[in-house]
Structures are given as C-alpha cells and as structure tokens.
C-alpha cells in the first residue's frame, strides 16, 4: 500500500523539493507528514489518499508556512486544570454544546444518568451550529451508501417531533434543484438519482411554470426543476438552545466557558477529562466537539482522523428584499467540488440568505469574511435574483464545516479506549441528521454503559419563549398588565420588549452576552445593528446579573462592550494628582486608593 501511496504523493507534490511521507498504521489509518507548497495541495492529496483502497481514514500532519492541523497539547492549561482539582462528576461527559452535543444530552436525559456538557464558548451553539443556513436537507445531495445519507434521511423525518416538543420555528416547505442551461443539465438529475437511492420521500420533477408560480420572486426561468417537498428550514441556533434548555430542565448540567484540554485514560479506560477550570470525573466521554473533535480524540489517545476546516460565508439581506422562500441552487454550484453550498433561500425569520461558499483553510478559528467570499456568494445568487446587489447585504458571517477526508460522519465507540464515543465530522447535513445522530448515540451509550433505565418524570416539552411582536393586541395588553416590562420596547427595529430580554437572561441556559441575547430574541440583529438598543441591553444585563459594565461581553472572554466607566478614569487620575502634587503620607494615599476601589 505504501508504494501506491508514494506514487499518489509524487503526482501531487514535487517530492525532491517537498519530501512528503505517508505512514500506514496497523488499523489502516494513513498519516501524512512533511511540508507542502500550499494548502490546496495538502487538501487534494489527503482527499485522494482517503479514497484509496483499504484506507480507514487520514491524519494530516502536513504543514504549510509553519502551520498544520496536528494536535498540540495545551500544557499550561492541562497543568492549571489538574491543579484546580475536581469540580464535577458525572456518568456521561459530553464535550461540546452544539446541536449534536445538546441533542445527545437531551436524548440521554430520558434516562437515570448523571450528565454534564462542557462547552468552551460562553453560550451553547458557538461553533459549527452557529453559522449555517438552517436547512434541513431532504437527503438527495449526499452520496448513497454513506452514514451521512442514512442519518440525513432519518433525521429529516424526525424533525416534526423535535419541532413540536421543543417549539422552535420550523417550516417544511421543500426545496428545488435547478438546471439553467446545457452546462448544468445534470444537476437536478444527480439529485434525483441520489434521492431515489437514499429513499427521499415525495421527490418529483415539476414544470418550470409550476415552479415560477410557487416562487414568484424568481426572475429567471430554469430548464428543469426537481422538487423535494421534505426539505425544511430552522434556525440552527434556536434548535440548539431549545435542545439545551430541555436537557437542562431534565437535569443535565451545562458548564460554559469550560474548555476540555485533556482526557484522563487509565489502563485503556476513560476516567474523566481535564478542563481549564479543573477536572471532571466520568465513565463515558462523548466527543461532540465539532471542528475540534479530532483534537479531543487525540487527547484520548484514539485519533484516527483529521478534521480539516472548510469555511463557508453566508450573506443575509433585509426582509424586504426579493427572493425565493425555498432553497435553490445558483449556477457556480456545478463548478465547485466538495460542497452542496452556494444557494439562495430565506431564513425562518424571513431574511433572504445566500451562500455559503466553501474554502479549505488551515486555521480552525478563522471566521473572517473576505471580498472573494462575497464575490462567490453574490455571483451564485444573482443568477436567481439579479436585482439584489452587494450593498443590500445587512450581515455576512463565516462558519466552519468540520470535515474529515472521507467526507462522512464518524459515529462509533472507540476501538482502543473504553468509555469514549466519537461523534465527529458532522458537517452538512449534520443539522438535518442531528435527531438521528442523537438516537444512534443513545444506542452506543447503552452499549458502553449497559442497559439504561428511564426516568419517570422526563419532560420532553420546552415551552417557546414569549414573542411580544407576534401577539394579538389583546394578548399584548394582558401580558403588559401581568408584567410591565413587556410594555417597554427596547429594540425598535425588531420590536423586542425588555420582558423578552429578561426572559432570555433567566431561562435554563442563561443568555448573558450580547450575542446570546441577539440569537434568542433578535435584539441588535435589526437594521440599526444595536446602535440604539445596545446601551439599554448593557444596563439590563448588568441589572439582572450584577456584572460590572466592563464585564458584559459580546461573545468570547475578551469581547467587552465598554472598557470601564469614565468615573473610574477620573478617580484614578485624582489619586495620581493628589499623590504627585501634595506628596502626602502613606495613610492618606491608602484612603484615596480605597475610594477608587469603591467607586
């Protein structure tokens, strides 16, 4: 096999200049090492190797400009965490509070299990689940026979139950696969064939006239239209928060701002994890760490895949802009590999959404948006809606797909460590597959821990929060009489009341950052982007949480909104001035210092 791989390598890189080495492990995993001229080469090579016969998966340790995707232990944090000691103990430790981790937590909360979820972000849904197009794919864009295909179709069907139990916004209105001319004439047919093989229900070709009747905003007439009625739309963040809230209601403990930096394994058995805040003991670790799942696997001593970040940029437009309600492909779709992206649709809240594109990057935390990203997104979408301009974009953001080189989901019990389950490589259609993934992991958990017994008092219902602007005047009146905070409109772009913001802060997963509040109630997401309501939201967070102004964050540890108060600065200046000009005795200086502290 090594010979075959070396040939492959020589086809991609000039090995005299760039000595790239492939090692084949006993378990069929290929490790690639060496320096490559550019990241595109590394990506193409690793994908080709993954396609070779008998290769289980690929670990990519190739480096480019001194950067690589190899796991480097965070020694300081491991030491710090161990020194802090144990702060929690559970049967099941779930790493990552995205839609996968939260979905698994909620599924397992049915049983008599003590469960903790560890999340390094300051809210749930901070990674992959945050920035996606919210599409519940029907299952006709995945390669038949893959785990992805199976779980996509199953997951899609399970969404009705999730939506009715968890009460998130859910629209099952279908999607289209279009061809515009000869060049892309196969696009709908590929969807048709894959869909048939994957057993996607209800799929059919419809006439362009019927299509144009369904989507009145579309300005071009396609040649052929494939309609998949089971496609649905959600807000990925809302689904995740609903799952997490319901899990928390049923006893799951969520630790936010808690980064797992090591996994404790003794004699092949998992004992717990080390975090930057201390250690957590547990019998089973479920690795749902999104784009970092390969690193968590490495910590457990069972890395057999590399997750290569694939960035996708999405553009959001004002609700008033024209655009189709259902997802459909633009044109560049047919020319770009490894993506189903690049379409046009509308979010569940009604904003036209274009994108995402797909760019292989080396830095898993690079969420920057570049001009060329929007060039692609606009180029693709303007085929469907030529009237929409780049200046109409109200927000653009990037998300990262956690792809392995097999481009399939990895959901299995560890073959080397007892008490460790991999849930990795959950890229698109991961959101659609999430309910099926949760069920599959439920089965794997029973395999690990033995038979699970059900709780008597499990409550599957998570009540929808109040949305003031959507109530009738009578209901609004009743609500304001009960709680006057609902009569105080804080965000005027989206008509959000103070009551709704306070609710978000007080729910089972408290929203205490600007972005957490934005994703729950849409305050600061409107046209003024927080210009008017930002200062008022800051006050509300401070009042409800007791935080000081500089402790209120947007998202992330250092994302303070304001640097402090003007008063602090003057008090500090006063102290210095008094000390300098009068040269007073120590006692008085201390007093001034105390004054500064209390201010």
Q: Rule CB under 8 A: which residues touch another protein?
A: 365, 367-371, 390-391, 393-397, 469, 473-474, 476-477, 480-481, 484-485, 487-489, 492-493, 495, 514, 527-532, 534-535, 538-539, 549, 553-569, 573
Neighbours of 476 (CB within 10 A): 17
CB of 378 to another protein, least distance (A): 12
383: left (phi over 0), alpha (psi -120 to 50) or beta: alpha
Q: Which residue has the tokens 């994108």?
A: 355
Q: Which is nearer to another protein, 474 or 586 (CB)?
A: 474
Q: Are 124 and 118 in contact (CB under 8 A)?
A: no
Among 464, 404, 410, residue whose Cα is nearest residue 440: 410
543 Cβ neighbours under 8 A, 6+ residues apart: none
Task: Supply 159's token pair.
Answer: 């969404």
Among 117, 88, 75, residue whose Cα is nearest residue 299: 75
Q: Which is nearer to another protein, 72 or 566 (CB)?
A: 566
* Whether 422 is catalytic: no
Q: Which is nearer to another protein, 78 or 394 (CB)?
A: 394
Task: Supply 68's token pair.
Answer: 């690589």
Distance CA 102, CA 118 (A): 10
485 Cβ neighbours under 8 A, 6+ residues apart: 497, 498, 499, 502
Among 272, 225, 261, 267, residue whose Cα is nearest residue 88: 272
Direct distance between the N- and C-terminal alpha carbons of the chain, in angstroms, rounded to an integer: 71
CB of 551 to another protein, least distance (A): 12
Select which of 12, 47, 61, 137 is catalytic.
Answer: 137
Phi, psi dihedral angles at 145 (to 5 degrees): 95, -10
Neighbours of 240 (CB within 10 A): 29
Q: Are 155 and 105 in contact (CB under 8 A)?
A: no
Starting at the edge strand found earlier in the chain, the sheet holding 171-172 runs 135-136, 232-233, 171-172
Q: Are 509 and 523 in contact (CB under 8 A)?
A: no
Q: Are 102 and 243 in contact (CB under 8 A)?
A: yes
Q: Which is nearer to another protein, 374 or 384 (CB)?
A: 374
Distance CA 259, CA 278 (A): 10
Q: Are 232 and 170 in contact (CB under 8 A)?
A: yes
Neighbours of 242 (CB within 10 A): 27
Q: Are 230 and 387 in contact (CB under 8 A)?
A: no
Distance CA 134, CA 115 (A): 27
CB of 338 to another protein, least distance (A): 24
Q: Which is nearer to another protein, 214 or 367 (CB)?
A: 367
Which residues are identified as catalytic? 137
């Amino acid at each position: 096999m090594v010979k075959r791989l070396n040939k492959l390598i020589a086809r991609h890189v000039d090995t005299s200049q760039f000595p790239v080495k492939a090692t084949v492990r006993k378990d069929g995993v290929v490790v690639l090492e060496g320096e490559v001229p550019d990241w595109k080469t590394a990506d193409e090579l690793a994908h080709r190797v993954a396609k070779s016969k008998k290769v289980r998966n690929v670990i990519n340790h190739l480096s480019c400009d001194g950067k690589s995707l190899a796991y480097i232990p965070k020694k300081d944090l491991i030491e710090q965490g161990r020194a802090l000691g144990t702060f929690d103990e559970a049967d099941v430790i779930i790493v990552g509070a995205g839609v996968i981790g939260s979905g698994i937590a909620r599924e397992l909360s049915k049983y008599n299990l003590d469960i903790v979820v560890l999340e390094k972000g300051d809210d749930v849904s901070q990674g992959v689940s945050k920035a996606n197009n919210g599409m519940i794919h029907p299952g006709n864009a995945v390669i038949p026979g893959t785990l992805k295909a199976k779980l996509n179709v199953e997951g899609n069907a399970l969404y009705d139950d999730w939506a009715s139990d968890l009460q998130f916004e859910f629209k099952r209105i279908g999607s289209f696969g279009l061809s515009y001319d000869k060049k892309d004439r196969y696009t709908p047919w590929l969807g048709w064939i894959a869909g048939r093989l994957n057993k996607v229900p209800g799929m059919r070709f419809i006439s362009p006239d019927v299509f144009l009747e369904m989507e009145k905003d579309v300005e071009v007439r396609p040649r052929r239209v494939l309609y998949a009625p089971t496609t649905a739309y959600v807000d990925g963040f809302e689904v995740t928060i609903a799952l997490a809230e319901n899990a928390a209601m049923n006893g799951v403990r969520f630790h936010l701002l808690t980064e797992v930096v090591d996994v404790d394994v003794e004699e092949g058995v998992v004992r717990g994890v080390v975090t930057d805040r201390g250690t957590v003991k547990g019998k089973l670790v479920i690795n749902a760490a999104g784009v970092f799942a390969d690193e968590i696997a490495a910590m457990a001593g069972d890395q057999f895949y590399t997750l290569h970040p694939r960035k996708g940029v999405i553009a959001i437009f004002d609700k008033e802009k024209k655009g189709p309600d259902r997802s459909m492909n633009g044109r560049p779709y047919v020319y770009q590999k490894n993506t189903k992206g690049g379409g046009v649709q509308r979010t569940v809240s009604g904003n036209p959404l274009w994108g995402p594109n797909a760019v292989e990057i080396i830095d898993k935390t690079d969420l920057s948006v570049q001009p060329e990203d929007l060039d692609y997104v606009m180029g693709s979408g303007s085929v469907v809606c030529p009237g929409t301009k780049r200046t109409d974009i109200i927000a653009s953001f990037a998300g990262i797909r956690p792809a392995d080189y097999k481009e399939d989901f990895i959901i299995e019990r560890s073959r080397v460590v007892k008490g460790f389950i991999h849930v990795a490589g959950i890229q698109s259609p991961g959101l659609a597959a999430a309910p099926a993934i949760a069920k599959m992991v439920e089965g794997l958990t029973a395999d690990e821990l033995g038979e699970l017994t059900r709780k008597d008092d499990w409550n599957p219902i998570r009540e929808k929060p109040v949305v003031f602007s959507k109530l009738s005047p009578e209901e609004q009146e009743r609500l304001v009489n009960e709680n006057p905070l609902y009569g105080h409109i804080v965000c005027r772009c989206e008509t959000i009341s103070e009551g709704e913001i306070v609710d978000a802060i007080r729910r089972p997963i408290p929203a205490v950052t600007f972005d957490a509040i934005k994703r729950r109630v849409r305050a600061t997401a409107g046209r003024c982007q927080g210009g008017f309501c930002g200062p008022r939201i800051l006050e509300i967070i401070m009042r409800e949480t007791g935080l000081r102004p500089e402790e209120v964050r947007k998202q992330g540890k250092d994302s303070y909104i304001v640097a402090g108060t003007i008063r602090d600065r003057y008090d500090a200046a006063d102290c210095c001035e008094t000390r300098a000009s009068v040269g007073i005795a120590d006692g008085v200086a201390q007093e001034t210092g105390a004054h500064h502290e209390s201010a």
